[in-house]
Chain A
Amino acid sequence: MWRDALLVAGKDLRIELRSRVVLNQVGPFGVLVLVLFAFALGPAPAPMLQAAPGLFWVAVLFAGLLAVQRSFALESGDRGDGLRLAGLDPAGIFLGKAAAVVAELAVLEVLLGAGVVLFYGARLHSVGVVAAACLAGTLGVAATGILYGALSSGLRVRETLLPFLLLPAVAPILLAGTRAWQAAMSGGQPVWPWLVTLSVFAVVYLALGVLIFGPLQEST
């Protein structure tokens, strides 16, 4: 399983390095979300500071959606049943694809984090909390996305169906991630409940994916 996961993650990341779709399109899209909301909130610093954590996660979720769609687009068209026919462990495929999405989103989050500081004037008291929240939240987004991506990949309406399935499912990440960021910005609020929520969410969806990605892949 781990060998196959490494193989799939390496392949997806190599393709991304060549095509640069995530870097050239998904990244700018995330930054654009931040910039547009900054215009909508106006020049006053207080509402922008208050909205910054939530907007960071909204941008991550939208970008994650695009990254997941891209991950499954790689396997469509002329690729046919290539991954299934290769005999790879389905759990390995799931973990590998999730790992590649995590790596892509991690780069994006650095960019978005810089954007939040730059455009919204956010000051982070605890970078460690932000990093932990981003790691757990991103694992959750990637695991959920790959799972629902597999569910919708065999359907003609997959592009429109995936957001309907994925965005409500990752609402806990939006909530807990935002609260963890707010705690890191204020420095006084309790942060552990939100980090635990993010971690439990990620572990549950990673375990679920390892267990049911195979049957999902065979049934779509």
Chain B
Amino acid sequence: MAPAVLLRAAVALTGRFPALAGADLVVAQGQVVVLEGANGAGKTSLLRVCAGLLPVTGGEAQVLGCDLRADRAGVRRRVGMLGHAAGLYDELTVAENVRFAVRAAGGDPAGIDPALDRLGLVGRLRKTPLGRLSAGQRRRVTLAVLVARRPELWLLDEPHASLDARARRLVNELVGEAATGGATVLLASHEPEEALPLADRVVTLAGGRVLGEVPGGRGRPAGRLGLAGDAHVA
């Protein structure tokens, strides 16, 4: 089976700055991989490359079998990204935002209502314009888009940010369910206590490169989780 993500010596530039400077990463389908590293390490850039948003200028980059150097737009309908920007419209209601995103990605509209229910976006909240929601509620709408779209590759950038404890648990459940359902998850996080138990692997980045990795805590008993300091050189 072809890997979901294959990066070999991948280089991606933000302006003239090498956001990825020869990154190597192979992620099998159905895996949950947590990306960790200091600010500016290249976590968000790696996610943006995988989403086909940031062009790869050197090396090899394939996502879900698509060669990103040849056609990076081709992969976008198959990936879902939760980034710093919500990608939603303040003037549209919660339900309208999710409906637009699902229809734009060619997804099945039948998944919209269950996704909204799952994220607790029920009753009058569905008809509320997004601009009137709190940061945490907006985050839940973005997650509802992902759940409704059911992408093959989930790219989550700080998914626990702005969420209360209950919503954080829900995010963890959704990540687990996505992986169990066959989707691949790449998750960048500064919160190891939340992210490590979800991961099959924890990959450490620095300076736009992959420094090393340790096993994650998914499917392992609590207390036996890998730590960033244990990373071995890839």
A residues sitting closer than 8 Å to B (CB atoms) are 4, 7, 11, 14-15, 18-19, 74, 77-88, 90, 214, 218
Contacts and interface: CB of A to CB of B under 8 A. Distances in A.
A15 B77 contact: no
Given A7-B100, A18-B129, A80-B84, A86 B76 contact: yes
B91 A82 contact: no
Contact of B87 (A11, A15, A82): A82
A100 to B, nearest CB: 13
B91 A85 contact: no
Contacts of A81: 51, 53, 83, 85, 87
B168 to A, nearest CB: 22
Interface of B: 51, 53, 55, 73, 76-78, 81, 83-92, 96, 100-101, 103-106, 129
A175 B178 CA distance: 58
Contacts of B104: 4, 7, 83, 86-88
Q: Which 3 A-B pairs have the closest CB atoms?
A: A80-B85, A82-B87, A87-B77
B105 A11 contact: no
Contacts of B87: 78-82, 85-86
Q: Which of A4, A86, A87, A214 has the most CB of B within 10 A?
A: A87
A46 B155 CA distance: 66
A85 B89 contact: no
Contacts of B129: 18
B101 A86 contact: yes
A87 B76 contact: yes
- Tell me whether chain A's interface is mostly helix, strand or loop, or mixed: helix
A78 B131 CA distance: 11
Contacts of B76: 84-87
A11 B81 contact: no
Given A11-B92, A78-B86, A79-B86, A84 B105 contact: no
Given A11-B100, A78-B85, 19 more contacts: A11-B89, A14-B92, A18-B91, A18-B129, A78-B88, A78-B90, A79-B88, A80-B87, A81-B85, A82-B87, A84-B76, A85-B76, A85-B87, A86-B105, A87-B77, A87-B104, A88-B104, A218-B55, A218-B73
Contacts of A80: 83-87
22 contacts: A7-B100, A11-B89, A11-B92, A11-B100, A14-B91, A18-B92, A77-B85, A78-B90, A80-B83, A80-B85, A80-B86, A80-B87, A81-B85, A81-B87, A82-B88, A84-B53, A85-B53, A86-B77, A87-B77, A87-B78, A87-B104, A90-B73
A70 B76 CA distance: 26
A18 B51 CA distance: 31
A87 B66 CA distance: 14
Nearest to A82: B87
A214 B51 contact: no
Contacts of A7: 100, 103-104
A79 to B, nearest CB: 6
A15 B92 contact: yes
A19 B129 CA distance: 11
A193 B86 CA distance: 49
Given A79-B85, A79-B89, A80-B83, A87 B103 contact: no
Contacts of B73: 84, 87, 90, 214, 218
A78 B81 CA distance: 14
B51 A85 contact: yes
A13 to B, nearest CB: 11
Nearest to A84: B53
Nearest to B78: A87
A82 B77 CA distance: 12
Contacts of A214: 73
A217 B53 CA distance: 11
B231 to A, nearest CB: 30
